[in-house]
Amino acid sequence: MSEHFDVHGGARLTGEVEVVGAKNSVLKLMAAALLAEGTTTITNCPRILDVPLMADVLRSVGCDVEIDDDVVRITTPAELSHEASSSAMSKLRASVCVLGPLVGKLKKAVVALPGGDAIGSRPLDMHQNGLRKLGATSSIEHGCVVAEADGLHGAQIWLDFPSVGATENILMAAALADGTTVIDNAAREPEIADIAAMLGEMGAKIEGAGTSTLTVEGVAELKPTEHRVIGDRIVGATWAFAAAMTRGDVTVTGVDPHHLELVLEKLRLAGAEVTTYDGKGFRVRQPERPESVDFVTLPYPGFATDLQPFAVALSSVSEGTSMITENVYEARFRFIEEMVRLGADARTDGHHAVVRGVEQLSSAPVWASDIRAGAGLVLAGLCADGITEVWDVFHIDRGYPNFVENLNRLGARIDRVGTPGPEAD
Ligand code: UD1
């Protein structure tokens, strides 16, 4: 028996909700701790399944990891193993982020191929090419990425696409390489700025974080630090969409509204009244039925692909027709099949979707295929008549701390039903 959520339709969400540290930052910061012998402390960590999974990955190479509420302490020993083979590797994408630090520190890594959300093809060619430019060999052998170098040297690296994961892996390896590395067409996501800030506190010399050119002057050694994870902009945006979809009034704290400028502008275009509180949060109030808006996903500062399901869900109850274009992960439109079960008038053509808004969705059993699709289905269920059953909710638990509790506090009625499935162990 696995768990599902019973989502009662018809709620209007009101009140305040606090966002904690970003999943897509904390997991990389945990990997960065491998670069320095001693105890690194990370605070403001979200209580989600992926954090203990990443802890298992770090334990598999010899670290001692303690999780105490929202604080994670990682003690990296003098002798680390270069083989990351925990079964947790296959459950999360971010596990591949141990590759860069292991190659940087040990000049050798054997890292099981990562798992994570089924959102489309997720190759590692840019990670491998970047490491090769730094002087390592890299191949895929028996389900593992294998990389090895006599020594790493600085290099000029151009990424074909501003990949978040490749930027992070190359950054972490280059931090301990001889000489200067320049990464061009680097990812500009706030999570990159966060990891660059933490590496800087550890003694790395990095310039250009948050721009598309990162310059890393390699140092001989890094030291442990204490670092606070930035607020989760994707979770913050989820609450913003939830307010807009339910014609609610929600104040979100713990997230920097500058990280969500385009998202909040889109919601203004849909008719929301948005107030921002510098560096602290924002309020979204939706007085009338939302109006249709077009969305195009792109690397940051474009509209995040992780928010595409919410764009589809909002459009499905808006007045008018929206065009949504997915440029990053083609398989993310699978979510639309589930939205159609809920009565959405939506169809896809290649990487475009056309969604004609309906007054109300209609409850049905639906299945979450990944973290954000799962959360999107829950928000859609709030706009449906009757009770929508959302299945495979272990996906949602990977990304959203206290999701049901937070929604219920904002005025929704959602019941968690059943016992955790094997995936949630
Ligand atoms: C991260 C996020 C994910 C988000 C994505 C894009 C984590 C754990 N996950 O994933 O939630 O949706 O950024 O914002 O932080 N690509 C290649 N070759 C590579 C690497 C990537 O072709 O070597 C392609 C991917 O298939 C994809 C695009 O580049 O089409 C972007 O991927 P990337 O930015 O690397 O995403 P992740 O870091 O895996």
Point out the ligand 1 atom lying closest to the alpha carbon of residue 122. 26
> Which candidate in 50, 70, 117, 370 is catalytic?
117
Complete edge-to-edge strand list for the sheet that includes strand 205-207: 156-158, 180-184, 213-217, 205-207
- The residues facing 157 across adjacent strands are 183
Residue spans of beta strands (DSSP E) within 291-359:
295-296, 321-325, 345-349, 352-356
Is 194 assigned a catalytic role? Answer: no
The closest residue, in CA terms, to atom 29 on ligand 1 is 163
The SS3 assignment for 190 reads: helix
pLDDT at residue number 120: 63
The closest residue, in CA terms, to atom 26 on ligand 1 is 122
pLDDT at residue number 89: 78
* 117 Cβ inside 6 Å of ligand 1: no
The closest residue, in CA terms, to atom 21 on ligand 1 is 163
* 393 Cβ inside 6 Å of ligand 1: no
**Whether 353 contacts 140, CB under 8 Å:** no
Point out the ligand 1 atom lying closest to the alpha carbon of residue 129. 23
The model's pLDDT over 249-283, given as tens digits with 9 standing for 90+, comes to 999 999 999 999 999 999 999 999 999 999 899 99
The tokens of 316 are what?
């499905």
The closest residue, in CA terms, to atom 1 on ligand 1 is 164
pLDDT at residue number 121: 66
Point out the ligand 1 atom lying closest to the alpha carbon of residue 371. 11
The CA–CA distances, whole Å, from 230 to 20, 99, 197, 400 equal 8, 23, 11, 15
Q: Is the pLDDT of residue 98 over 90?
A: yes
The model's pLDDT over 304-363, given as tens digits with 9 standing for 90+, comes to 999 999 999 999 999 999 999 999 998 899 899 999 999 999 999 999 999 999 999 999
Rounded (10°) angle between helices 125-133 and 164-174: 20
pLDDT at residue number 117: 61
Point out the ligand 1 atom lying closest to the alpha carbon of residue 124. 23
* 329 Cβ inside 6 Å of ligand 1: yes
Residue positions forming the annotated binding site for phosphoenolpyruvate: 23-24
> Ligand 1 mean position to 165 CA, how many Å?
6
* 287 Cβ inside 6 Å of ligand 1: no
Q: Is the pLDDT of residue 422 over 60?
A: no
Q: Is the pLDDT of residue 421 over 60?
A: no
* 125 Cβ inside 6 Å of ligand 1: yes
The SS3 assignment for 136 reads: coil
